[in-house]
Structure 1
Amino acid sequence: MNRFLTQATLDFFVAFGVVLGASMLAGMAALFIWQPPQTIMLDIVVRIKIWAVVVAIGGSIDPIRVIEWNVSKGALSPAIMQVAYILFAFLGAHLASELVQWMCRNAG
C-alpha cells in the first residue's frame, strides 16, 4: 500500500507541475510576443491537460496494456491500481488547471 500511495502522489504532483509550469511559462512567453498573458495561459492550460496526464503515468501506452493484460487474466487489483494512478494524475492536472483559471480571473 505504501508503494501505491507514493506512486499516486508522484503522479498527482507531476501532472500538477506540468500544467502549472507550462501555463506560467506560456504566460511569460506571451510578454515577449506582446500578447495578453491571461489569454495565452488559458489557451495552454486547456490544451496541455491531457498531455500532463500522459507524462505523469509514464508517457506511453504501457499503463493501458497493464490494465488490459491484468483484466484478461482476471487480476483486477493491479488493473484498479493503474486506473487509480491515471485518476490521480488527472486530478493533479485538473486542480492545476482550475488554479490557473482562478489566477487569470482574479488578476485583472
Structure 2
Amino acid sequence: MGKRIRELRISAQFTQAQLAERAGISNEFLSKIECGRTAPSVVTIQRMAEALGVSVDELFRDVQGTDAVDSASARYVLAEFLQEAGPEGRELLMRLAQLVRRLVDAKRSG
C-alpha cells in the first residue's frame, strides 16, 4: 500500500509534507507508511484518500492497476475492525470469513 500511496502522491504533485498535512498525520508517519514500515489505520487511509482525491479502493491497487492488498495491511485493517466492531460485528465478520473460505475452497477444487 505504501508504494501506491507514494505513486499517487507524486502524481498529485504533493510533497510528503503536503500530503501529511492534508491527511492530518506527521511527515515521519507518512514516510514510514510509504516505506512499508508501518500500516495506517482505517481512518488514516480514508484521510489520505480524500487528500489525494481518490477512492479508498484506489489506495489498494498496485502500480499496474491490479488489486494488491498485502497480508500485513489486510491483517492490520481486520484487527482494527475487530477491535472496534463489538460482538455483533465480530460475529458477522466471522460468518463472512467462513463463507469466503468455502467459496475459495470450492473455486480451487474446480
When normalised by structure 1's length, the TM-score is 0.24
When normalised by structure 2's length, the TM-score is 0.23
Structure number with the bigger relative contact order (C-alpha 8 A, sep ≥ 6) is 1
Write 1 or 2 for the structure with the bigger share of helix: 1
